Amino acid sequence: MKEYELTVLIHPDLEADLETPLTKVRDIIKNAGGTIVREDNWGKKKLAYAIDRQEFAVYVYMDVELPADAPLKISNTYNITDEVLRYLLVKVDVKARVALAEQAKRAEARSSDDETNEAN
């Protein structure tokens, strides 16, 4: 299973009952043999340009693990799903994630060193 990042733009009219389209999105992933590791609802945001005459969309981000054949199945299904305006499914760059974690750790160490020096 490989790690992927999935960002889904859900139709803004469905914001009142967001759980229904999200359940559909989750079921598509699970039916393709994938698992959702993490999910983050970014809320309703203005689009850079109109999609299907819509100026806003509800952004939902997910970290998912998928087998090799699942991305094609998921893409084909999301393309014909009315609730989903757009989606972006990309493979995670593990090296970049590790580098970002190390960079954050170094920044944290530097800030704690600065606090220690200011206290002295």
Q: In angstroms, rounded to a whole number, what is the distance separating the alpha carbons of residues 14 and 31?
A: 23
Question: What pLDDT is recorded for position 111?
Answer: 80
| pLDDT tens digits along 39-49 | 999 999 999 99
Q: What is the pTM of this model?
A: 0.78
Domains of the chain, with CATH numbers?
A: 2-92 (3.30.70.60)
Q: In angstroms, rounded to a whole number, what is the distance separating the alpha carbons of residues 4 and 1?
A: 10
Question: What pLDDT is recorded for position 116?
Answer: 64
Closest CA to 65 of 96, 86, 34, 38: 34
| pLDDT tens digits along 12-31 | 998 888 999 999 999 999 99
